[in-house]
Chains A and B, each alone.
Chain A
């Protein structure tokens, strides 16, 4: 075997190894991107579940505090905005933060009505809301962990070469301000 042949074999081996590595990286990116999308869809399901609970909650509070019209209108508007189409997790987070604030005011109003607080229907709705917020918080942690893994891979060398070549980009985190949604769940210690 001549020196030229050896060099050619080595070159082919290197090219094959690089190609295999590239394929593995590409598949890894696809898997991560799908995981991020799937975990976002799960959050979306839980957000819808929460949006569906809110009209019942508003109606229940209305039954005891009909004159607090401003608060009800604010919650209804914020809910409609949050349930409407949004372009990105960051935009969804803005809408959810507004809804959290409005809901906080609604629950503060409810605090002033002991009969409402004692009502079984209201307690059930509150428990369901807390449970759904726990689900959102857990989904958010899972989604953000997947985003972190994807973003780290997109930015680190040499994987970023494959990312740039095939257009894999950073994903957006889903950040919410509401401490309840961040710190949930409501478990008894």
Chain B
């Protein structure tokens, strides 16, 4: 399973919800062991794209291949971690019980402590989730996504509501995981986070505007700041 060159291979995916076109022929590839940033405004299609990686969205056209398996495929999901935008947790369970549960349904419970330490919640592991702050819940949700040591980690806006200090800490963690061979896809609309990614995909109105390293994208738009590049590339391809 680790012999594939790409962790995610999306080929010309189209998805509509009624009249709304959420994904309009998106093609992109996430390499093994890289941190790939999906950058775009709210409603651009980032979440829909990530959901298609785990088979929750069935594309009308095109294919999604994850860790060498054409989706939808159930078994490969044991090697994928998915952190939803909303901190999806069981409020009546403790942080540790939540993490244990998501480990168990993916067939691995040996990483509970490591996951909780990674998000700095080991000391609060006995706390019931409903008593945790918003930021702590986000971190607990992240721990649930990586407890089974996935080869591919999908993070839908993981640092919303997380304080700057912990954000830096989390990003150091992501970098470390990537260095260890984990492929990570992070969606964000925060530009300074995008700078920390190996490569970026700029997405707007369900279309991929540009793909490449931060430097490549800046060069393509002939600007110095990523924000300006995004605006310029958006104008270049109107919806």
Partners in one complex: no
List chain B positions with a Cβ less than 8 A from chain A. Answer: none
